[in-house]
Structures are given as structure tokens and as C-alpha cells.
Amino acid sequence: MISVADLHKHYQVHRRPPGLKAALRSVLHRSYTTVRAVDGITFEIRPGERVGFLGPNGAGKTTTLKVLSGLLHPTSGEVLVDGHVPRRREHAFLKKIMLVTGQKQQLLWDLPPAETLELNRAIYDVPVAEFRETMAELTELLELGDLITKPTRQLSLGERMKCELAAALIHRPRVLFMDEPTIGLDVSMQAAIRGFIKRYNERQGATILLTSHYMDDVAALCPRVIVIDKGKLSYDGGLEALVRRVRPEKRVVLHLDRPVEAATLAQLGRVVTHDTAEAVLQVTQAAVNATVTKALATLPVRDLTVENAPLEEVMSELFARSRAARESEQEATLT
């Protein structure tokens, strides 16, 4: 469905130091540097997959999504989306895809979302009967109610995002690129949007490539993740496997009836957090059984769970490792 081979996207960026002198000098002489936003990434995505596209700020995630949706022309490399070269922006391609961003909206600000929905129906040439059917489905899934008849500017951020999704999906795209779709939303609205994306994928069989800084989004939606950093691919595979690779240790979470000394806890494993009612221990996979048995036998444990390290920690460790690898590579080049 999506095939990316050795994709590069480089920008020429004008740089100048602050100050009047530098400003005047830049009138006569401009200096540019090349930013390698995407630097040779390769991956394939099968039809109907939900893939998380992760990386720190400036990693090249959004740039890649924009190349895949035909907004940016790649510097080099091959990109195919359902058999189309995105940069050609053929009508058949544009009718199959949609890019939803949490920071840009297509809804007409001073008119009710119903007007944008009707406009999209006309532009995407959706038959009226199919439009009504899709609208009924979207209204149910997104709990739109009468939101679409209120002027867009009077809607809350969450309500607007729901209507954005409806406007983006009225033509039932087969490929959905989502860039931070839950940014700025409260926890319950995030959960609602996540639930909707999953159901849309299951009902329509749509392929979804999603970027998000909220790891809850990724954990709930994406069995597979692609991680990029500074434009280079650093991981492509299952989410579980990524966690096992980066943080193979397990977390034993103890809910305590009464406070326990840190020194006592330290005998069982590395203490990650500790307060009067709860303690989190980090132990190796092999030591989990022994630790659990000993904790139940020797400590005032009311409840106990065994978990993986939080995804946020896994990701920040992965990014830190990539950064360290890059720095040592640079040092090796300099020496």
C-alpha cells in the first residue's frame, strides 16, 4: 500500500546571527545551510495496517507525512502510495488519501461544519446517498449530534477536532495520514478520538500512519511503530519488541498497606519510585517471579502488578541512544 525507498528531503535554510549588523550583511550576502529533514529512510506498509510514526521534535515525521500526501516534493528517493507517485497529485490519488493534522484545520471558520462537509461532498464527488450513509456513521462514531450546525468558531477544540475528522473522512479515504490528531485535547476527548480511529480502521480497512507525542495514542492504536530521528530510521517493528529491546526489565508495582523503608525495598530490586502507599521496583525478566514471591511473603502488600516500562521512558531512552550513537559517529569522523 505504501512503499518508501531511500527517501531524502533536504531544505536550504537561510541563517543569520541576531543583530543589526548581521541583518544588514544578510541584505548583501545570504548564507544558506542544508537541513536534511529526511535522510534516506525506507519502509513498506501493508493495506489496513495501523502504524505509529515516532520520533522527537524535528525528527522528520511531519515532513515524511507531507511527502507521502503529495504536499512536498522529495529531494530524491522513490515513494508510492497505493500505486501513485504522491508528488504528481493525481485526482485518483487525492480521492484515496487524507492528511489530518491537529494543528491545521480545513473547517471554514465562520460557517458551520455542515457547510465544509457539503463542500467536500461536492469536491470529492460523493453521491448523495453515500454521503448520507457516511454522515450517519460518522455522527454515531464521533457523537457529533448538532455540532455540525454551530459556527465552527464557537466550537471547543475537541468538538472542532471531531468535525475535522468527519470532514476528512467524508470520502472514505483508504489511506489516512494523521499528524498529532489528539494534540491539545483533554484525556477523555483523546480516548474518544483514539477509539474512533481504531473503529474507522476496522470498518473501512483503511491504512493508517500516525504521528503522536502521546504514547497512549501509540499504545492503543499501533501494533507496529517506525521510529525516525534526525531524518534517519532507527527502528521498524512491533511495539512490544521495541519495549523488550530498549527496556527489557520489568516493573513490579507494589500497593502497600503501610510505609516500608527504602532500604528494605532495595533488597528486592532497583527502586524507581517510592512513597508511603506505593513502590515501583525495576527487575530483570528472569527475576520477576522471585521478586514477586519475596515481596508477597515479606512486605505488607495489598495489591501487586507487573508491567513494562512506560512507553514514554522507552522512547526517550531510544532517542538518547540514537543521539549518543550520532555523537560518537561525529567524533569518529573528526578524529
Partner 1 sequence: MRLPATARALPALFKIGFAEAVAYRAEFLVWMLSTTMPLIMLALWAAVAREAPVGRFGQKEFVAYFLATFIVRQLTSSWVAWQMNYEVRHGTLALRLLRPIHPMLTFAVENLAAQPMRLVVALPMAGVWLWSVGADEIPRDPTLWIAFGMAILGGWLITYLANFAIGCLAFYLESSIKVMDVWLALYFVFSGYLVPVELFPPALRVIADWLPFRYQIGLPVELITSAHDGGAALVLLGRQWIWVAAMLGGTILLWRRGLERFGAYGG
Residues that bind partner 1 (CB under 8 A): 11, 62, 66, 69-73, 89, 91, 94-95, 97-99, 101-106, 108, 110-111, 115, 118-125, 179
Q: Whole-number minimum distance, CB 6 to partner 1, in Å?
A: 19
Q: Whole-number minimum distance, CB 161 to partner 1, in Å?
A: 13
Quick one: 77 or 124, whose CB is closer to partner 1? 124
Quick one: 73 or 323, whose CB is closer to partner 1? 73
Q: Whole-number minimum distance, CB 195 to partner 1, in Å?
A: 23
**CA 109 to each of CA 104, 105, 112, 122: distance values in angstroms, whole numbers, following the listed order:** 12, 9, 8, 19
Quick one: 56 or 269, whose CB is closer to partner 1? 56
Compute and round to an integer the Cα radius of gyration of the chain.
24
Q: Whole-number minimum distance, CB 47 to partner 1, in Å?
A: 21
Quick one: 152 or 322, whose CB is closer to partner 1? 152
Quick one: 4 or 260, whose CB is closer to partner 1? 4
310, burial (CB in 10 Å: exposed 0-12, middle 13-18, buried 19+) = middle
Quick one: 3 or 106, whose CB is closer to partner 1? 106
Quick one: 118 or 236, whose CB is closer to partner 1? 118
Q: Whole-number minimum distance, CB 123 to partner 1, in Å?
A: 5
Name the residue with cell 489530518: 100
Q: Whole-number minimum distance, CB 84 to partner 1, in Å?
A: 12
**Count of C-beta atoms within a 10 Å radius of residue 259:** 12
**CA 298 to each of CA 252, 256, 267, 269, 281: distance values in angstroms, whole numbers, following the listed order:** 15, 12, 11, 14, 15
Q: Whole-number minimum distance, CB 238 to partner 1, in Å?
A: 29
Quick one: 46 or 73, whose CB is closer to partner 1? 73
Quick one: 73 or 245, whose CB is closer to partner 1? 73
Q: Whole-number minimum distance, CB 153 to partner 1, in Å?
A: 10
Q: Whole-number minimum distance, CB 259 to partner 1, in Å?
A: 48
